[in-house]
Amino acid sequence: MTKTSERAALGAVIGLIGGVVATGPMTVAMILWHRRLPASERYALPPREITMKLARGVGVSHKMNSEARAAATLLAHFGYGGAAGALYGAVADKIPVPTLCKGIGFGLLLWSASYLGLLPGTGVLKTAADHPARRNALMIAAHAVWGAALAGVSDLLQKETRDAGLSPFSTTAAPHKDL
């Protein structure tokens, strides 16, 4: 493995971890902001809508009780956050922008690509233009929270790994500083 591919692979692993971790505060923000929407706009948040649409598509939604729906929604949401984080991690060090700006920008790019392209393009969810403005604002802000947390966690893990002299893909282990 070359140093460049090693760095990208490590970045992807760190980004995956960062993406999963960042989905926590994002989810909390979504839940809290969802409660503040007018009653007419408090229908299921996109992760539930997406998960259940896919569950119907593979014929399992009718077998899912409320706990299974909640578990599937969380698993899918955190999984998507991790996968998107891996993409971020693989390219983040190549983008010469301050960490926080890079993360928030990536979160907003992910929202745009998902809610204006991928999800409506595949018929999984209506385009963002068909949802109320407040719900779009909620989801855009939640993706900014996710991006900020992703960048912070990923940057911290990258620095810790680099400062410790770790190279998890090498055949020789670096000595621990405290030993």
Give the DSSP letter string of 41-103. Answer: G-SPPHHHHHHHHHHHHTT-GGG--HHHHHHHHHHHHHHHHHHHHHHHHHHGGGS-S-HHHHH
* 158, two tokens: 């990258």
Report the domain count for the chain: 1
25 in any annotated domain: yes
Q: Does residue 172 form part of some domain?
A: no
What are the pLDDT digits (tens) for 152-163?
A: 999 999 988 876
Work out whether the CA dihedral 42, 46, 50, 52 comes out positive or negative: negative
Owning domain of residue 91: 3-163
> What is residue 160's predicted lDDT score, i.e. its pLDDT?
86
> Is 49 part of a structural domain of the chain?
yes
The answer to whether the Cα torsion of 2, 3, 5, 6 is positive or negative is positive
Give the per-residue pLDDT at 10: 93
The pLDDT tens digits of the residues spanning 92-141 come to: 999 999 999 999 999 999 999 999 999 999 999 999 999 999 999 999 99
Q: What is the pTM of this model?
A: 0.89
Judge whether 142 lies within some domain: yes
